[in-house]
């Protein structure tokens, strides 16, 4: 997971979230020189675990033209279990996280049947992030209506799996102490992404995608951020 390719691409050792992301923005600017951005995937479900993933997206180390593929480093994974999945608790946790280099990041939010209250709550409290809601469907062609994307669950998983198989995503295994009590080891989530089972439903099926696996919250959190980086960042002209 922490491959030689990724280490060469980042040109520095992998940092843990609490050491790297909480540095002052000015300290990171000298080393990053505008070559990276942060994407935060948030999987929300009432009465079930909520997951969050922080991906750092890098320009290719040796650009091969406009279509060169980006590289990702998963800096942070965290799971919240009930009762800490209540909206006020989730909001407080997000407000505490979205500081320093995460200010004005893209916050890609899973939008299930609770899309309106979740997104409205996040926007009402003016979190320092650009909120990007994504409706995760059983099957759907990528579509954009207003400010909401509609994406098939299989598309999210396939996109992330392709990035993993192309050795373009690494995971920082040294997570902060506060996440260890509720969050599976990084290697478990990595394996779940590679082996996640899903079946493509007919394109006309517009049902929301149910959670099927033990790690769906974290799998979807990573997949949402990765899909956005591959589909939307490139489409809208960010390296």
Q: Identify the pLDDT of residue 83.
A: 84
Q: What is the DSSP string of 147-165?
A: TEEEEEHHHHHHHHHHHHH
With tokens 């965290």, the residue in question is 78
Quick one: which H or E segment has residue 83? none
CATH code of the domain containing 91: 3.30.420.240
198, two tokens: 């899903």
Q: Identify the pLDDT of residue 202.
A: 55
pTM for the whole thing? 0.79
Q: Identify the pLDDT of residue 90.
A: 86
Q: Identify the pLDDT of residue 165.
A: 92
Burial 146-174 (b: 16+ CB within 10 A, else e): eeebbbbbbbbbbbbbebbeeebbbbbee
Query: What is d(CA 176, CA 198) in angstroms, rounded to the nearest whole number?
Result: 31
Number of domains making up the chain:
1
Nearest to 209 by CA among 69, 113, 73, 143: 113
Average pLDDT across each block of 10 residues of the chain; the chain has 239 residues. List them in order. 38 38 36 75 86 91 65 94 86 90 93 71 88 84 80 91 94 82 89 80 53 84 96 60
Secondary structure class of 77 (helix, strand, coil): strand
Nearest to 212 by CA among 230, 192, 237, 229: 192
- The range of the structural domain enclosing residue 14 comes to 4-235
């Amino acid at each position: 997971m922490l491959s030689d390719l990724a280490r060469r691409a980042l040109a520095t050792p992998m940092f843990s979230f609490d050491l790297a992301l909480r540095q002052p923005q000015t300290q990171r600017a000298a080393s990053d020189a505008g070559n990276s951005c942060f994407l935060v995937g948030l999987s929300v479900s009432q009465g079930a675990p909520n997951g969050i993933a922080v991906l750092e997206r890098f320009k290719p180390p040796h650009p091969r033209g406009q279509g060169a593929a980006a590289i990702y480093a998963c800096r942070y994974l965290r799971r919240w279990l009930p009762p800490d999945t209540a909206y006020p608790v989730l909001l407080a946790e997000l407000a505490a996280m979205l500081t320093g280099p995460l200010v004005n990041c893209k916050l890609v939010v899973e939008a299930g049947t609770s899309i309106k209250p979740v997104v409205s709550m996040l926007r009402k409290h003016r979190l320092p992030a650009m909120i990007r809601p994504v409706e995760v469907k059983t099957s759907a062609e990528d579509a954009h209506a207003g400010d909401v994307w509609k994406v098939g669950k299989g598309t999210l998983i396939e996109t992330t799996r392709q990035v993993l198989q192309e050795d373009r995503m690494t995971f920082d295994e040294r997570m902060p102490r506060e996440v260890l009590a509720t969050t599976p080891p990084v290697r478990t989530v990595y394996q779940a992404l590679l082996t996640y089972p899903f079946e493509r439903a007919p394109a006309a099926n517009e049902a929301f995608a149910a959670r099927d696996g033990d790690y769906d919250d974290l799998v979807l959190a990573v997949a949402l951020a990765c899909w956005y980086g591959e589909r939307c960042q490139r489409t809208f002209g960010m390296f």
